[in-house]
Amino acid sequence: MKNLYFKKSALALSIAAIASGAFAQESSWQQINVLKNPAFIPGWNGALAATADGVGEVWSGAFELYQIVENAPAGQYTLTANAFYRYASNGDAKENMGNGANHNAFIFLGDAKSAVVGLFDNGESLPGEGETFDAAKHSPNSLTEANAAFEAGRYVNTVTFNHPGGDLRLGIANTGGRFDEWTAFDNFKLVGPEGEIALENGDFSEGLNVDKNQDIWNCANIDMSNKAPDANKQGGVYRKTNASAYNFGQQIELPAGKYRFGVQSFLRYGGAGNVEGKYVTCKGEWAWVDGESALDRFNNNNEEEKDNAYIYVTDGYDLDVDNVTPLKPADEDGAKYGKKDAFYNQTAIKSLFAEDLDSYPDNEPSTADVTEEGYGWCDSGFEYQAAACFINNPDLYRNYVEFELSEPTKVWVGLKKDVNAPTQYWNPFRDFTVEKYVGGDNTGVNDIISDDENAPVEYFNLQGVRVANPENGVFIVKQGKKVSKVVLK
């Protein structure tokens, strides 16, 4: 089964990315907490599938959900959460999760992580015929039952991290990407050297919201009616599909500085299929037909600019005054948004085929039946496979639009598609971010020379995060201004 979707030469590319950015996470771009409901839920970044009874969940897919505690002081931190993970169906989970196998979900804190407890790890079972669910002993089979089990103090997960100081990232993730897998989670609590640190919506008391709401994400159609992204239960991504224009964004206020707004996303132009000369129809037809496929369009450079999806930013209006959203760039004279010198920056979302992969998220369903490994025919692509691709390759399909402000300014950031074409497009997305440029050069590793052989040695993982006690992996070593790569076993 293809369930990881690693990019070719991912290791080498990650090292090159860090080298070219000279530890970009620390010295170049820094993520800041300015978006409201960044994952369409208060407090959390990334993506999830649903919330009910104060419990978060992702069914049938990989995902990552996280928060960033800014400027956390150095010291020991402990994160706890109620959570469980089920590998595929209940029967498959019982059979395949013994002795720690196939525990693909984990909670994380800084560079430390801990596998999420399996649904049946302690010998639990579902209620028998005629038996009522007992929160103290049975395995949950719904979020209502999960909530009861969590309230009973079950499925507790803990991870501890010695933090060197600075921004601290925490959350929960699943790298799987298998049909019918299930992760449920609640009650995140963080304790640091100075006591408990409040996490916004750590108990998921405020749920998912993808409605048209100018206070968060204003999800709109061309006629300004509600056009929310799909937050279905198939994988840890949101999506838009099938010949529908859309625009959603939000207004944020930023001080002077250089910024970029980002999202992990791709766009498939037209009908499903990863092959040349034919594609899969949808909406109940479920058939291969001869014709130009999305792959053909990419290879032949036939992707029309007007059909693109775009990530964008504009300062060309004031929502408080104009009460409008930028469904398209400002009028020629700029008057529509009340500012003649407005900027409107946009970047086209990458094509599905723009990255060099060994295998792509599956676009070519070959059966009308649901199989053990995945869905049969579908209306778009397989969200659970797109999510696995994203989570296992966090730098893959990243899209950014940059902008610079000379003074404190309100800007609108968003994702949009202006036209109802091409038919049957597929646009999954996750992890909206705003990052501020904080200086640093882009000197490569090979160009850095040492001026202090006696400087302390620091270790970083391939994402540029400092590691206190590195072991069993590839790391970047920094001593003074000297940087090198090592493999530790």
**Containing H/E element for 474?**
strand 473-479
Report the pLDDT averaged over residues 61-87. 97
Give the tens place of pLDDT for each residue, 94-146.
999 999 999 999 999 999 999 999 999 999 999 999 999 999 999 999 999 99
Give the tens place of pLDDT for each residue, 203-255.
999 998 877 676 788 876 556 666 678 877 677 899 888 767 888 888 899 99
User: Any residues with CB less than 8 A from the CB of 26 and at least 6 apart, and which?
Assistant: 166, 440, 464, 466
Q: What is the pLDDT of residue 453?
A: 63
Q: What is the pLDDT of residue 164?
A: 95
Q: What is the pLDDT of residue 340?
A: 64
3-class SS of residue 269: coil
Exposed / middle / buried, residue 399 (Cβ in 10 Å: 0-12, 13-18, 19+)? buried
Strands 457-460 and 466-467: antiparallel
Q: What pTM was estimated for this model as a whole?
A: 0.82
User: Any residues with CB less than 8 A from the CB of 441 and at least 6 apart, and which?
Assistant: 22
Give the tens place of pLDDT for each residue, 284-306.
666 778 888 888 889 998 888 88
Location of structure tokens 């270790």: 459
Q: How many helices (H) and strands (E) does the chain have?
A: 7, 26
Round to whole Å and give the CA distance between 391 and 381.
17
Round to whole Å and give the CA distance between 138 and 133.
6
3-class SS of residue 447: helix
User: Any residues with CB less than 8 A from the CB of 243 and at least 6 apart, and which?
Assistant: 420, 421, 422, 423, 424, 425
Number of neighbours of residue 252 by Cβ within 10 angstroms:
18
Round to whole Å and give the CA distance between 341 and 49.
40
Is there a contact between 72 and 165 (Cβ–Cβ < 8 Å)? yes
Edge-to-edge order in the sheet of strand 45-46: 45-46, 63-72, 166-174, 105-109, 112-115
Tokens, residue 323? 């009460």
3-class SS of residue 402: strand
Give the tens place of pLDDT for each residue, 12-51.
333 333 333 333 344 499 999 999 999 999 999 999 989 9
**How far is the CA of 472 from the CAs of 12, 111, 244, in angstroms?**
17, 13, 47
Strands 409-417 and 195-197: unpaired
Is there a contact between 175 and 62 (Cβ–Cβ < 8 Å)? yes
Looking at the chain, the whole-number percentage of residues with pLDDT higher than 70 is 76
**Please, what's the b/e burial string for 210-222 (b: 16 or more CB within 10 A of its CB; e: otherwise)?**
bebbeebbbbbee
